[in-house]
Amino acid sequence: MAGARIYSSHCQNGQSGGRDGDILFRMDAYVIRDTGLFLDIPVGEKKYVLKLRDLPQEEKPREKFRRYGARALSTAELLAIILNTGTIKEDVLSMSRRVLREYGERSLSGHTDPDAMSRDLDIPLTKALQIAACAELGKRFFHKKDAGSATIRTGKDAFEYLKDMRDLPKEQLRGIYLNSHHKVIHDEVISIGTVDTNIVHPREVFRPALAYSAVALVLAHNHASGTLKPSTADVDITAQLVQSGKIMGIELLDHLIITKHGFVSIPVSYE
């Protein structure tokens, strides 16, 4: 692209690396030209959000599915069909978009705790149960054989696997649970919100490892602020989890901080 300025931000994992660890992204500002097609909303006036009832009948998710098939629908539209109805304060399509935006598609498919989902996303428990049940059905119907599972051997592998976390609007703690061949056997959102000792407890981190017979895990959380610097709480919690894993015989291999610019391993002794 002529005139575009491309900058490089190196993905860090506690070691120096080459160019293959770089992410390229544009830093020049987008210019939105006034086409005269839209009216500016006066300051102070509330912007109207398009709701499901505003759509033409043939563009509503169920009718669209029947007419064009599942492939014509977005993920939010498919989720809206599953949820069926919204709440008094939020229509079903708006709820579906918000759920996907705040959790991320991959995180949502790996979440198995409807109570935590209901609490984190402020949705009725019945809605959370519907989502969790559909995710479980998907796993059972389309379960991949072990040979097709992702392999996580380095921090870079984990970063690539978790790349959907780069742009999440809320801080999220994820666990990747591995077998003895470094194959991913489970992926779960452990908590949403600032990572601190009040919401991150060893039992919550290692419970999925026991349930899925994992021998090791990699943790990751995103910093929505964009900073790659670990906080004191990040370091203290990670050190505590490493020791807990040693007692249980489940190794914590790494704990990454992820942002849109790259990643870094929290500097503790994992040995």
Per-residue pLDDT, 52: 67
Q: How far is CA 13 from CA 18, 22, 116, 155, 230, in A?
A: 12, 12, 30, 6, 12
Residue 11: what pLDDT? 47
Same domain as 195, residue 87: no
Contact assessment for residue 260 and residue 167, using Cβ atoms and an 8 Å cutoff: yes
Under-70 pLDDT residues of the chain: 1-52, 54, 106, 110-111, 141-148, 194-199
pLDDT in tens, 149-196: 789 999 999 999 998 888 888 888 999 999 988 999 888 888 887 665
Domain boundary among 141, 168, 186: 141
Of 268, 243, 245, the closest CA to residue 255 belongs to 268
Domain check: are 258 and 150 in the same one? yes
How many C-beta atoms surround the C-beta of residue 20 within 10 A? 7
Residue ranges making up the domain that contains 205: 146-265
Q: Are residues 153 and 240 both part of a single domain?
A: yes
Please state the φ and ψ torsions of residue 37, each to the nearest 5 degrees. Answer: -90, -15
Residue ending a domain, among 141, 166, 191, is 141
Supply the pLDDT for residue 263: 93
Q: Is residue 70 domain-resident?
A: yes
Q: What was the pLDDT predicted at 67?
A: 83
**123 and 65 share a domain?**
yes
Task: Return the CATH number at 214.
Answer: 3.40.140.10
Task: Supply the Cα-derived Rg of the chain in whole angstroms.
Answer: 21
Please indicate, yes or no, if residue 45 is contained in any of the structural domains: no
**Considering 141, 173, 205, which residue would you say is the last residue of a domain?**
141
* 168 lies in some domain: yes
User: What integer pLDDT is reported at residue 38 of this predicted model?
Assistant: 42
- Asked whether residue 44 is domain-assigned, the answer is no
User: Does this model's pTM top 0.85?
Assistant: no
